[in-house]
Amino acid sequence: MSGDLVALPKAHLHVHLESAIRPSTLVSLGGAAPPAVFAGFGAFVDYNAAVRACLRTAADFERVAYEFCVDSAADGVRCPTTVDHRLDTAIAVDPLKLEPALRECALRGHDAVL
């Protein structure tokens, strides 16, 4: 039965990029790897704020979005999701410059595994 579930197509309904970053990517951007378990919701929120502080350029966001799409496709996610980056872009970079970059890298990430 569990093999049948693995084979089924999947979809993300809503994802925050800072919650989807690979630990190795976060470390390479100057952050600390996530804990194995968060000590409550406050610790989770604090961690996500620390991740956002590491995302400084459009290239950083592109990398995270690209890797998210590659990882999602490898997990059986069939179609791109709506990625919530509004909070991040307000803090880090000009959202008008970032949005097209995110769309393009999401498509590249999705196409890379098809």
- The domain spans of the chain are 9-112
Q: How far is CA 95 from CA 86, 89, 90, in A?
A: 8, 5, 7
Can you tell me the distance from the alpha carbon of 30 to that of 24, in angstroms, rounded to the nearest whole number?
A: 10
Identify the sign of the CA torsion 26, 77, 96, 87. negative
The predicted-structure confidence for 68-78, as pLDDT tens digits, reads as follows 888 887 888 76
The predicted-structure confidence for 22-58, as pLDDT tens digits, reads as follows 999 999 999 988 888 999 999 998 998 899 889 888 7
Can you tell me the distance from the alpha carbon of 69 to that of 21, in angstroms, rounded to the nearest whole number?
A: 11
Return the SS3 of 4: helix
**Ramachandran category for residue 12: left, alpha or beta (phi over 0 → left; psi -120 to 50 → alpha):** beta
| pTM of the complete model | 0.70
Output the DSSP codes for 6-56.
Answer: HHS-B--S-EEHHHH--HHHHHHTT-PPPPSS-SSHHHHHHHHHHHHHH--
